A and B are shown apart, each in its own frame.
Chain A
């Protein structure tokens, strides 16, 4: 099995994630009983798009939705992988009521 060449296009994935989040959350206010559905929709949209690339990768998509209440927050990640083939991207998005952070990791099979 060859190592996947040149990884994935980060700019393309960032665009996909921003479109998924923007279309799901848009100008919404924070509604508790819709949050689970929003998270599932964002992640499914991202994963579907990633799976279409049909490259030999495993994907992990992580999504956090937080009420925008002025609280301090840090999201950090670290990894033990092959830097030649594996990489990640983190996208943060917010409106006046919601903070959304989506991280996408892709790791070669």
Chain B
């Protein structure tokens, strides 16, 4: 088992400051984190990347990093300008083991949300969760 994390996106040097607009609707109705849209993106990336593939332990680390970064880029393209995003991917081989993934958050339930999707094939499964946290 390996785990690796990637630190934040340093390509964007723009630094956002607080604007104190307390809800994303202040920027437009389309700016609120939409669970269904994000879920569709995650499912799309998972199917693109994993359909027809077998689990390869030598490439698993790269595959999970690619899924992470593809999902992050696609969710950013949905245009949530005032949201901080966290993407977490669990990618495992299937050997009959039981798995449970859960999360708890301390946030503002009116503005923040999450979306998740998973994909299972004959020899692998992948679960991806995107958390969107509004930055006032």
Q: Interface on A for B, CB 8 Å cutoff?
A: 1, 30, 32, 35-36, 39-40, 43-44, 46-47, 50-51, 58-84, 86, 88, 90, 92, 99, 101, 103, 105, 107, 109
Contacts and interface: CB of A to CB of B under 8 A. Distances in A.
Interface string B75-107: 010000000111111111111111111111111
Interface of B is mostly: mixed
Contacts of A36: 100, 102
7 contacts: A67-B99, A69-B95, A71-B94, A74-B92, A76-B64, A76-B89, A88-B86
B113 to A, nearest CB: 11
Given A63-B103, A109-B136, A58 B94 contact: no
Q: Which of B6, B84, B91, B96 counts the most A-chain CB atoms under 10 A from its CB?
A: B84
Contacts, number: 180
Contacts of B87: 77-79
A25 B99 CA distance: 15
B102 A63 contact: yes
B98 A30 contact: yes
B76 A65 contact: no
Contacts of B5: 76-78, 88, 90
Given A32-B98, A72-B92, A82-B135, 16 more contacts: A1-B20, A40-B102, A61-B105, A64-B100, A68-B97, A70-B95, A74-B4, A74-B89, A76-B88, A76-B91, A80-B8, A80-B12, A81-B8, A82-B8, A82-B16, A92-B3
